[in-house]
Amino acid sequence: MALREDQILRYSRQILLREVGGRGQQKLLDAPVTVDGASDVLDVAAAYLAASGTPLFDRTTHGGFLAGTSLESFAPDAVAVTPAKGWLGSFATAPTIDVSLFRLAVSNGGLIGVPGGMPWPGELEGQGSSDSVTLGALAALVVQRFVLGLESSLVKVRNVDGRWQRE
């Protein structure tokens, strides 16, 4: 399926990325992600995923796209970007990615998983991000790399004296 003109314009900055391109953007648009649970980290992750064009499904609402206020404020037309309408009628077989790992990780002493070789969150901290924003952005990044078929192996990191470090 070719990208529509409005999708090309909206996601042009992602398409520019070597790791994404048009084919990668199509994967992001075609891969519905389930957001299971509620937390600040998941809200941020959901917002980033929606902004990248990924359809989100909130398991807790039993039947709708996630439509929380934070999501709507980040990507007002995210729920309209659903090229893979077929999956709505067959949710059981749709590809889903559980990002609750990150919520659990946060509650377990700050351990989270990030793909090996990724630039590390010091750069995000430099933007004055809170931990929730940092972790949420990373959760979205991990999911996106998974969808794009990029490296999915994880490394553990730990928060030491306010700085995130690889273990």
Partner 1 sequence: MPHAVIDITSQVCPMTWVRVKLKLESLDTGDTLEVLLKGDEPLRNLPRNAADDGHVVKSLDTLGDGTSKLVLEVRHG
Interface residue list for partner 1 (CB under 8 A) = 3, 8-9, 12-13, 15-16, 18, 21-23
Nearer residue to partner 1 within complex by CB, 16 or 92: 16
CB of 3 to partner 1, least distance (A): 7
CB of 149: closest distance to partner 1 in angstroms? 13
Q: What is the distance between the alpha carbons of residues 1 and 83, in angstroms, rounded to a whole number?
A: 9
The 3-class secondary structure across 71-132, one letter per residue, is HHHHCCCHHHCCCCHHHHHHHHHCCCCCCHHHHHHHHCCCCEEEECCCCCCHHHHCCCCCHH
Of 86 and 149, CB closest to partner 1: 149
**Shortest Å distance, C-beta 51 to partner 1:** 18
- Distance in angstroms (rounded) separating the CA atoms of residues 143 and 132: 16
- Give min distance, CB of 50 to partner 1, in A: 21
Block residue for tokens 């990208």: 3
Residue with tokens 């989100």: 56
3-class secondary structure, 38: coil
Nearest residue (CB) to partner 1, 3 versus 97: 3
**CB of 83: closest distance to partner 1 in angstroms?**
16
| Residue with smaller CB distance to partner 1, 81 or 138 | 81
Q: Which residues contact 103 (CB under 8 A, 6 or more apart)?
A: 37, 39, 41, 42
Using the minimum distance from each CB to partner 1, give the nearer residue, 19 or 77: 19
